[in-house]
Amino acid sequence: MAQPPQPSPESTPLLSMTGIVKQFPGVRALDGVDFQVRRGEIHSLMGQNGAGKSTLLKVLTGVYTRDAGQMLLDGRVISPRSPLEAQGEGISTVYQEVNLIPDLSVAENIVLGRQTQRFGFIDWRAARRQADAALARLDLQLDVSASLNSYSIAIQQMVAIARALDEECSLLVLDEPTSSLDQQEVARLFGVLRRLRDDGLGIVFVTHFLDQVYQISDTITVLRNGRLVGEWPAAEFSRIELIARMLGRDPASLTEAEAGAAPPSPVAAAEAARLVAHQLGRRGQLQPVDVEVGAGEVLGLGGLLGSGRTELARLLFGLDRADSGRVELAGRAVRRGQPRSAIAAGMGYSSEDRKVEGIIPELSVRENLILALASKRGLWRRLGRAAQEALADRYIQALGIATPDAEKRISELSGGNQQKVLLARWLAAEPSLLILDEPTRGIDVGAKAEIMALVADLKARGMSVVFISSELEEVVRSSDRIMVLCDRAALGELRGESKTEQAMLARIASAHQEVSGG
Amino acid sequence: MRRLLGPRMLPLAATGLVVVLLYLAAGAKFHDSNWFTYRVLRDLVVNNGVLGVLAIGMTFVILSGGIDLSIGSTVAFVGILSATLLGQGWSPPAVITLSLVCGVALGALMGWLVASFDLPPFMVTLGGMFLMRGVTLLINDSQIAITHPTYLASGKWPIHPAAGAWLIALVVALYLLHYTRFGRNIYAVGGSEQSALLMGLPVWRTKVAVYACCSLFAAFAGVAQSFVSLSGDSTQGVAQEMDAIAAVVIGGTLLTGGRGYVAGTVLGVLILGLIQSAIIFANINSWWTRIGIGLLLLIFVLLQRAIQQRVDRQ
Ligand SMILES: Nc1ncnc2c1ncn2[C@@H]1O[C@H](COP(=O)(O)OP(=O)(O)OP(=O)(O)O)[C@@H](O)[C@H]1O
Ligand SMILES: [Mg+2]
């Protein structure tokens, strides 16, 4: 195994954090972590969910105050007490969840805090121009005066990145910026990052997509359980070794262990179900489509961002009101635009946007976990406390949720672990049809495999699943059939032999050509 | 133009329409041409100018996601302070300056408590309300007439002091909210405080300034009130903060913050004023004013929710 090489002493690093300690009630999130970033380097910070990556970056940018340790930027001691001060030091940051103001326009979200002023007045025209320019760096053209929440999560994430890039900085920090982007958008972002690196910026990058790590990074630092594991040049650090270091296991034992690990099966058999949607659509959102999912079948929805995948999921579940068509689950009609009716009929929906639609930050892990089940059972058939605790513990175990206990506030969990709780919420409700919208977003490799295994397990018990993911490979692997969507319409289905990533891409590409050709 | 007709302006336009319709409907009901005279319109503005200024200040705090219950007491405090000091021979500019400074100081104190210790604005400003009312009563627990010639001469000004104050407050607020960083930061803090913090916006400073601003507007309203009533009255402005909140909400600003317009607040005050005028004009028992405002507030909140949901879905 490669030993972490000593950092070269000849040049002072751009950023040097030493002995950083951060204690939260009940958890030592960082325990004496050292972290260095040099100029002209893209540095990936890796680790499982809850390893302490976001916490380290938040200590760096003054969101959290550290309990011990020292930080040097450009050889100067820094101690920012707020993101504002960190910006003043030349650190520009994209935080893990999209942190913008949904009600304000795209332009404002980009220029907020640094608007051009003329004679004491904000120059709105300049603001729009500045926003257009910032987005153009990412090859993005938007109506910048539309409010941010009229755009998808992916676009919002791009806007957050554009905002960070628009700032004068010497260190750029990106905490899972690509979690909801598609391949093209990631490619554009990476183009920009490489250029910035060549200009001498230091860039910190966090992601759970290993492909991306190897595409972009020069150096990799691994954290585990709040401790530093080591730092390696990306070129000399194999993928299997990276995973082993993150999980704290021996690379040799890894492959067999992964193959042998049977997923725990916490879910009782759900009764057979069959979803039929006929000519379901909504003007401006999705052209009418027919959908059928049999009992024990996984239907994948494939397509690029904005193709209508999430829109279809929302219409099925009734989050948006369809203006045509009908939905039936196991023979029961689901009333349009009424998620309650969908839940009562046995549907579950794990949303892509966990921050807005998913978690309830003030409640504990246990309370968040039993929400769907409780609403399915109704007000009068409450679950006893002991039963709730047992249930919570079972899923914390099964999904490997990193939390000291079930009573911790969910907002204090790391991003990936919150996603796992959301998933557990729907699993606990034992729906007969579960819609999973980007269930693996922001989840580490180990847990990703667990989730995929869980999907397979659910299927084996007769539950129907609608599976949505930006990672085409994942869709191909876990689905029986794939419905390909493009430009908010269904292009057709892939099954059996033809169910491959290439076939899916070819379909989408030809559809695009037709559009631009005609 | 596109901005004016855009979906975000729709609720505002609808509220404006309601003002006009309310006015016309009341006129049609009365079959009385007096209703459509300049006098009625003038009274509408003049009688509601002080409330107009207060509601504009309240818009700032509500936009930031807070609330301020102390403004009614501040009006009374400024009235009593002005009357007392003028009686002791202070000059009007000195009195007005001191009043405004007191307003800013009170607001900054409350803002500091809210921002630094993360206290609920409701409690802090409730404290401010009792404090100011108490101090007012301490200075003088009755009514003092103002006899200073400058104040007496205000009747001959080209513009009524209440109307003038309202106009000044409106222009200042439009400038602050739409053309300064401070104003945009208020929207951001009200929209999502956590995000505003992570975006590197000066959240603490903004919150302190918002309360200082609101109290400044309240003190300014108090100055206007003393010109209008030519007296200081320790019972002035009781529960007026509630009228201000009602006006802001009717004007379409969300109580949770981050969304709304000062222009809406102006319309909100006009709607409250119209109901009041109509009821006086029709010679009905004035308790109906309260009942009318109460019902209207409920209807309006419902209506706005409906419009907003339509806009959001598009
Ligand atoms: N505000 C907080 N209060 C209490 N505990 C916290 C808080 N924020 C994070 N933690 C804990 O600190 C640990 C590290 O969390 P962190 O968010 O840094 O993980 P991460 O490496 O970013 O994971 P992910 O990949 O899931 O984003 C976790 O155990 C988490 O529960
Ligand atoms: Mg994280």
State what percent of residues in chain B have pLDDT above 90. 63
Testing the interface with A: which of B198, B203, B205 to mutate, by most A Cβ within 10 A?
B198
Average pLDDT, chain B: 89
- List the domain boundaries for chain A: 15-255, 270-516
Centre of ligand 2 to C-alpha A353, Å, is 15
For residues A73-101, average pLDDT = 92
Pocket test residue of A64, A93, A414 for ligand 1, highest count of atoms within 8 A of CB: A414
Question: Which residues make Cβ contacts (< 8 Å) with residue B25, sequence separation at least 6?
Answer: none
Q: What is the DSSP letter of A82?
A: S
The predicted structure's pLDDT at residue A272: 45
pLDDT at A1 over 60: no
| Residues A469 and A482: beta-carbon distance below 8 Å | no
Res A257 pLDDT > 50: no
User: Three-class SS string for A86-131?
Assistant: HHHCCEEEECCCCCCCCCCEHHHHHHCCCCCEECCEECHHHHHHHH
**For all residues of chain A together, what is the average pLDDT?**
84
As a whole number of angstroms, the distance between CA A470 and CA A485 comes to 12
pLDDT bin (cut points 50, 70, 90) of residue B168 is very high
Residues with Cβ within 8 Å of A173's Cβ and at least 6 positions away in sequence, in order, are A57, A60, A61, A91, A92, A93, A94, A203, A204
Smallest CA–CA distance, residue B225 to chain A, in Å, is: 31
Q: Domain for residue B280, yes or no? A: yes
Nearest CA to ligand 1 atom 4: A412
Q: Residue A310 C-alpha to ligand 1 middle, in angstroms?
A: 28
Closest atom of ligand 1 to CA, residue A48: 25
Confidence band, pLDDT 50/70/90 cuts, at residue A104: very high
Name the minimum distance, in Å, from the CA of B311 to any CA of chain A. 10
What atom in ligand 1 is closest to the CA of residue A226?
14
Pairing of strands A332-334, A324-329: antiparallel
Q: Provide the H-helix boundaries in A119-182.
A: 124-136, 153-165
Q: Is residue B170 part of a domain?
A: yes
A168 touches chain B (CB under 8 A): no
Query: Model confidence at B1, in pLDDT bands (50, 70, 90)?
Result: very low
Summarize the confidence of residues A249-270 as an average pLDDT.
46
Model confidence at A62, pLDDT cuts 50, 70, 90, reads very high
Is a pLDDT exceeding 70 seen at residue A489? yes
Q: State the total domains in chain B.
A: 1
Closest CA to B279 of B55, B45, B39, B22: B22
Contacts of A162 (CB under 8 A, 6+ apart): A110, A131, A134, A135, A137, A138, A140
DSSP state of A335: P
Assign A364 to helix, strand or coil: strand
The whole-angstrom separation of Cα A49 and Cα A182 is 22
The Cα–Cα gap between A339 and A370 comes to 17
Residue-wise pLDDT for B181-216, tens only, equals 999 999 999 999 999 999 999 999 999 999 999 999
pLDDT for the residue B6: 56
Q: How confident is the model at residue B310 (pLDDT cuts 50, 70, 90)?
A: low
The finding on whether A55 has its CB within 6 A of some atom of ligand 1 is yes
Q: Does position A63 have pLDDT exceeding 50, yes or no?
A: yes
User: What's the gap in Å between the CA of B199 and the closest CA on chain A?
Assistant: 7
> Tens digits of per-residue pLDDT, A412-451?
888 888 888 888 888 888 788 889 888 877 777 777 777 7
Asked if A86 has any chain B CB less than 8 Å from its own CB, the reply is yes
Q: What is the mean pLDDT of residues B135-145?
A: 93
| Integer angstrom CA distances of residue B169 from A17, A135, B163, B166 | 50, 37, 10, 5
Residue located nearest, by CA, to atom 1 of ligand 1: A412
Collapsed DSSP state (helix, strand, coil) of residue A492: strand
The mean pLDDT value for A317-336 works out to 85
What mean pLDDT do residues A157-178 have?
92
| Nearest protein CA to atom 28 of ligand 1, as residue | A50
User: What was the pLDDT predicted at B8?
Assistant: 66
Rounded CA-CA distance B127/B21 in Å is 40
Of all protein residues, the one whose alpha carbon is nearest to atom 29 of ligand 1 is A50
pLDDT digits (tens, 9 = 90+) for B227-250: 999 999 999 989 899 999 999 998
Contact B200 A102 (CB under 8 A): no
pLDDT digits (tens, 9 = 90+) for A360-401: 888 888 988 888 777 766 656 677 888 888 888 888 888 888
A419 lines ligand 1 (CB under 6 A): no
Choosing from A55, A58, A176, A419 the residue with most ligand 1 atoms within 8 A of its CB, the one to mutate for a pocket test is A55
Indicate if the pLDDT at residue A255 is higher than 70: no
The beta-carbon neighbor of B198 closest among A83, A102, A115 is A83
A13 Cβ closer than 6 Å to some ligand 1 atom: no
**Distance (Å, whole) CA A275 – CA A511:** 27
What is the Cα A271 distance to its own chain's centre? 31
In this prediction, residue A513 carries a pLDDT of 62
Please report the atom of ligand 1 found closest to the CA of residue A57: 18
Residue A64 Cα: closest atom of ligand 1 = 1
- Range scoring the smallest mean pLDDT among A40-44, A476-480, B28-32, B140-144: B28-32
d(CA A336, CA A313): 13
Which pLDDT belongs to residue B54?
97
Residue A321's pLDDT band (cuts 50, 70, 90):
confident
Question: Averaged over A160-165, what is the pLDDT?
Answer: 93
Q: Looking at chain A, which residue has its C-alpha nearest residue B7? A: A146
pLDDT digits (tens, 9 = 90+) for A6-48: 544 456 899 999 999 999 988 899 999 999 999 999 999 999 8
The verdict on the CB of residue A221 being under 6 Å from ligand 1 is no
Contact call for residues A281 and A325 (beta carbons, < 8 A): yes
CB-based contact B196 A101, cutoff 8 Å? yes
Please say if the pLDDT value at position B300 is more than 70: yes
For residue B3, tell me if it sits in a domain.
Answer: no
Is A84 within 8 Å of B200 when comparing Cβ atoms?
yes
Q: Is the pLDDT of residue A269 over 60?
A: no
- In the numeric block, which tokens belong to residue B39? 């006098």
Could you give the CA distance from residue A302 to residue A501 in angstroms, rounded to a whole number? 9
The confidence band for B311, taking pLDDT boundaries of 50, 70 and 90, is low
Minimum distance, in Å, between the CA of residue A362 and any CA atom of chain B: 14
Residue B5: the pLDDT is 47
With CA atoms as reference, the chain A residue closest to B3 would be: A145
According to DSSP, the residues that pair with A409 across neighbouring strands are A364
Give the residue from A32, A93, A42, A26 showing the smallest Cα distance to A66: A32
Cβ distance of A101 and B3 shorter than 8 Å: no
Q: Is the CB of A24 under 6 A from ligand 1?
A: yes
Measured in Å, residue A458 CA sits from the centre of ligand 1 at 29
pLDDT bucket at B221, cuts 50 / 70 / 90: very high
Show Cβ contacts of residue B104 under 8 Å, excluding neighbours closer than 6 positions. Answer: B212, B215, B216, B219
Query: A264: number of CA atoms within 13 Å, CB side?
Result: 12
Is the beta carbon of A275 within 6 A of some atom in ligand 1?
no
Residue B211's pLDDT is: 98
By C-alpha distance, which of A249, A247, A241 is closest to A225? A247
Q: Is the CB of A441 under 6 A from ligand 1?
A: no
Q: Judged by CB atoms within 8 Å, which residues 302-361 of A form the interface with B?
A: 320
B175 chain-A contacts, CB cut-off 8 A: 121
CATH number of A15-255: 3.40.50.300
Checking if the pLDDT of B136 tops 60, the result is: yes
**What residues have CB less than 8 Å from A115, skipping those under 6 apart?**
A122, A123, A126, A127, B181, B184
Contact between B36 and B24 (Cβ < 8 Å): no
How far is the C-alpha of B222 from the C-alpha of B229, rounded, in Å? 10
Q: How many helices (H) and strands (E) does chain B have?
A: 14, 2
CATH number at residue B221: 1.10.3470
pLDDT exceeds 70 at position B312: no
Residue B147 located in a structural domain: yes
At residue A254, the pLDDT reads 57
Give me the mean pLDDT over the A72-96 stretch: 93
Does ligand 1 have an atom closer than 6 angstroms to the CB of A416? yes
Task: Give the pLDDT confidence of B9-61 residue by residue, as tens digits.
Answer: 777 777 788 788 877 877 777 766 777 777 878 888 999 999 999 999 999 99
State whether the beta carbon of A52 lies less than 6 angstroms from ligand 1. Answer: yes
Nearest C-alpha in B relative to A161: B199
- Residue of B3, B179, B181 lying closest to A113 (CB–CB): B181
Per DSSP bridges, beta strands A324-329 and A76-77 are unpaired
Q: What is the pLDDT of residue B102?
A: 96
Residue A115 sits at the chain B interface (C-beta within 8 Å)? yes
- For residue B122, pLDDT beyond 80: yes
* Residue pair A182/A304 in contact by the 8 Å Cβ criterion: yes
DSSP state of A2: P
B91 falls within a domain: yes
Confidence of residue A517 (pLDDT cuts 50, 70, 90): very low
**How far away is chain A from the Cα of B258, in angstroms, using its nearest Cα?**
7
Chain B residues with CB under 8 Å of A102 CB are 191-192
Q: Specify the pLDDT at position A514.
A: 57
Ligand 1 and A207: CB distance under 6 A: no
β-pairing, A91-94 vs A171-175, is: parallel
User: Coil, strand, or helix at residue A144?
Assistant: coil
In terms of CATH, what superfamily is A270-516? P-loop containing nucleotide triphosphate hydrolases (3.40.50.300)
Rounded to two decimals, the pTM is 0.80
| Residue A442 phi, psi (nearest 5) | 70, 20
What residues make up the domain containing B118? 10-313
User: ipTM of the predicted structure?
Assistant: 0.88
Q: Is A459 in the pocket of ligand 1 (CB under 6 A)?
A: no
